[in-house]
Amino acid sequence: MATEIETETEADRLAANKDLVRTMMSLLVDPATSDEARQYLTESYLQHNPNIASGADAIIAWTKTDEARRARESMRPSPEAPVFVAEGDKVVMMLARDVPDPDDPTKTYRSYWFDMWRVEDGKLAEHWDAAPKEVSSDGADERLLRDDSPRV
């Protein structure tokens, strides 16, 4: 019987972790609500995307940039609902997007973006995605995501 209770508790924790990521992402897609995301981030929030600095201030500030606006526009509407997978203290979110075909700009193809978060004490402590490091046209490190990155 104790195993059933523990399993149920683990399932509840995993569901809560997925809800935490879903809530965080919903706040970050709107610059008007992105400041509210701070309550869901640890003091030592680590960002492994090479284009955004670590810390709550950095991700919240990024949501208010032109780059973030273009990224939001490029990922909406998503052709499919996001998928969330949780295991241990990690949550992975998969987001579908239709992007222009480089061989035929009149067509699009379906691509998927993956984000992974680490949850610590009910808050997001760490984030990873597949964004490559971007360099501005003058050679300076932008510290922001490129226009076509499917980020929020």
- Give the tens place of pLDDT for each residue, 37-71: 999 999 999 999 888 899 999 999 999 988 888 77
| Predicted structure pTM score | 0.78
d(CA 78, CA 76): 5
Token pair for 74? 């490029």
d(CA 14, CA 24): 15
C-beta neighbour count of 118 within 10 angstroms: 19
Q: What integer pLDDT is reported at residue 76 of this predicted model?
A: 67
Ramachandran class of 121: left when φ > 0, alpha when ψ lies in -120 to 50, beta otherwise: left
Token pair for 78? 């998503």
C-beta neighbour count of 78 within 10 angstroms: 13
Q: What integer pLDDT is reported at residue 55 of this predicted model?
A: 95
Q: What integer pLDDT is reported at residue 148 of this predicted model?
A: 43
